[in-house]
Amino acid sequence: MMSNLKLFKAGVIVAFVFLSFESCKKFEVLSNIDPDIVTAGENLKAQTVWEFISSRSTNRSIDTLKSLNLYAAAIERVGLKDLLNGEGDFTVIAPRNEAMKSLALELGYPTIDAVPSALLKNYFLDNIISKRVKSFDLEISKFQVVETLNGDSLSFVRQPSSTDQYVFNLYNSPTFSTALVKVRSQNLECKNGVVHVVDAITSFRPKFLPAEAGKAAGDTIIVAKDAYLNNGSSALKGTNYGSLDYMWIKKNNDANITRRSITQFPVKAASFPEPISSATLGLFVTRSDNPGGTVSVYRDQQVDWGENTVNWANSPVPGTAPLSSAEIRPFVTKGWFYFDVSTAYKTALANGDQYINLGINTAVNALFQFATKETRDSNLILGGYKAFLVLTPPASTLLVNPVNTGLSVDLVKGYKKITISELSFGGTTNNNITYTITSKPQNGFLVVNGLVSPSFTQAQIEKGAVKYLYSGTAAGTDSFTVVAKDFKNGTFPTPQVVNIQIQ
């Protein structure tokens, strides 16, 4: 037994000496390692950016790879694979799968596969620059704004926290209105560039002054009654919702969650001597669910109803021809939307009607919520967001000296920023001039901050936020038409047809 114990002690001593020797060698190695920041993608330097984002590696140090497959597939679809697989020195902002899904919704499509290539390509080029930007190269809290491959700008800043010296953010800059996006996985260095992975979408949105508050002289009529109506079971159809501080609309195969809303306004002659030029309905949206969509206003049956008694079963018959519609994107939190109800209002006035019923409805499976007379605004004032009608007389416009040279688009680039020298008016400041698109391009898209939009301002043109995207592959032509209006609602009489040459 003693002999065995001595052998055991000798073995322990040998093992201890061996481990100590090996540990010393390891400590020696560690002591020679540069303690400065180490690039997260150090082991990717033999790969191109394309090889990185399209890889199916499960290496724990780069676990973001498995959630970049939507981005990689979209990059290939829009024709940017060769760019990211070739020579260069890029910085690439790569959105993970959840961010890609959000991008599709932001662009107005249910899935990323449904988004037209021209829109996706514009977004991707808006998030690639032709030099490497790494977090540890940036001075603390100093913004670095760099031009992107499609002529827009990316803003980078390193803003340390108490526990992390390398918190790396995008677009947190005084010159942008884009929401801050934190980089999830940073400094993934590849052979031809560096990749920063994000969990949220981000794009170029420059700040500009809003329009002044001036309006043409007119009359405002406040809503008299409002309520929403619920289809479905007899109990739901018979329930009144007229006292709530919200009203809902939604179309669904399940009748129990199908809703529409109804409002009533008094019909009055205008206080001004000129004829009524327009009647505009203002509705305040407080919620819009995925996927968003079209909301329309109708003239409902001309019968009276009680706000505290109306329900789906006894309500006026809804109208079938929309008076006006608006596209409301998902996840809108608060905002006014406007609908032209001029023809219906002027008809009601001519007929001697004492009131007009305006219904609100949608054909999409999304819930939209509107403020009612009972809603309190941000200052807790009751009725601060209630619906209204504005009657306006014909307005003389402030706009003069139209400039419309048309656009020349480089076929290779496939896009063109609109400039003040190509489309503009004088007579007031840029923030007070709005263009409404009355005829869309047939061979491409007109985007504002990367999103298809029904209107834009001259201030947005000045800031480089309005762009034409060509969706073809060969030289050709295109055009769109806009109507210009000043902040007092004065419309320039001649619509502007903007001709486009792609060559």
- Please say if the pLDDT value at position 14 is more than 60: no
**Gap between the Cα atoms of 62 and 280, Å rounded:** 54
Q: What is the pLDDT of residues 287-326, one digit of tens each?
A: 998 878 889 999 999 999 999 999 999 999 999 999 999 8
> By percentage, how much of the chain surpasses pLDDT 90?
59
pLDDT of residue 329: 78
Domain extents in the chain:
42-198, 219-392, 400-502
Q: What is the pLDDT of residues 193-214, one digit of tens each?
A: 999 999 888 777 777 676 776 5
The CATH superfamily assigned to 42-198 is FAS1 domain (2.30.180.10)
Lowest-pLDDT range of 90-99, 145-154, 227-236, 469-478: 145-154
What integer is the mean pLDDT of 14-27? 42
**Gap between the Cα atoms of 371 and 334, Å rounded:** 10
**Gap between the Cα atoms of 315 and 238, Å rounded:** 10
> Are 394 and 317 contacting, i.e. CB atoms less than 8 angstroms apart?
no
Assigned token pair, 309: 């008694």
pLDDT of residue 164: 74
pLDDT of residue 175: 66
Assigned token pair, 402: 């139209």
Element (H, E) at 76: helix 69-77
Q: What is the pLDDT of residues 55-80, one digit of tens each?
A: 865 333 444 445 899 999 999 999 99
Q: Quote the DSSP letter at residue 325.
A: E
Share the mean pLDDT of the chain: 85
Assigned token pair, 434: 């709005």
CATH architecture of 400-502: Sandwich (2.60)
Strands 193-198 and 90-95: parallel
> Are 454 and 466 contacting, i.e. CB atoms less than 8 angstroms apart?
no
Element (H, E) at 30: helix 2-31
**Reduced to 3 states, what is the DSSP secondary structure of residue 159?**
coil
What integer is the mean pLDDT of 238-242? 97
Residue type, 222: I
pLDDT of residue 162: 75
DSSP states along 334-371: SEEEEEE-HHHHHHHHHTT-SEEEEEEEESSS--EEE-
- Please say if the pLDDT value at position 36 is more than 90: no
User: In the CATH hierarchy, which fold is given to the domain comprising 219-392?
Assistant: Jelly Rolls (2.60.120)
DSSP states along 81-126: HHHHHSS--EEEEEE-HHHHHHHHHHTT-SSGGGS-HHHHHHHHHT
**Gap between the Cα atoms of 195 and 89, Å rounded:** 11
- Please say if the pLDDT value at position 13 is more than 60: no
Q: What is the pTM of this model?
A: 0.62
**Gap between the Cα atoms of 125 and 119, Å rounded:** 10
- Please say if the pLDDT value at position 352 is more than 60: yes
Q: What residues pair up with 435 in beta bridges, in sequence order?
A: 456, 484
Q: What is the pLDDT of residues 75-126, one digit of tens each?
A: 999 999 999 999 999 999 999 999 999 899 888 888 999 999 999 999 999 9
**Res. 40 pLDDT band, cuts 50 70 90:** very low
Strand ordering across the sheet containing 193-198: 128-129, 90-95, 193-198, 181-190, 168-170, 153-158, 144-147
Quick one: 23 exposed, middle or buried, by C-beta within 10 A (0-12, 13-18, 19+)?
Answer: exposed
Please state, in angstroms and as integers, the Cα–Cα distance from residue 34 to each residue in 22, 210, 431, following that order: 21, 51, 53
Assigned token pair, 394: 């014909």
Q: What is the pLDDT of residues 390-441, one digit of tens each?
A: 998 887 899 999 999 999 999 999 999 999 999 999 999 999 999 999 999 9
Task: Please state the separation of Cα 106 from the chain's center in Å.
Answer: 5
Of 442, 450, 449, 454, the C-alpha closest to 485 is 454
CB atoms within 10 A of CB 79: 12
Q: Following CA atoms 265, 271, 273, 274 in sequence, which dihedral angle do they give, to the nearest 10 degrees?
A: -40
pLDDT of residue 154: 82
**Gap between the Cα atoms of 110 and 104, Å rounded:** 6
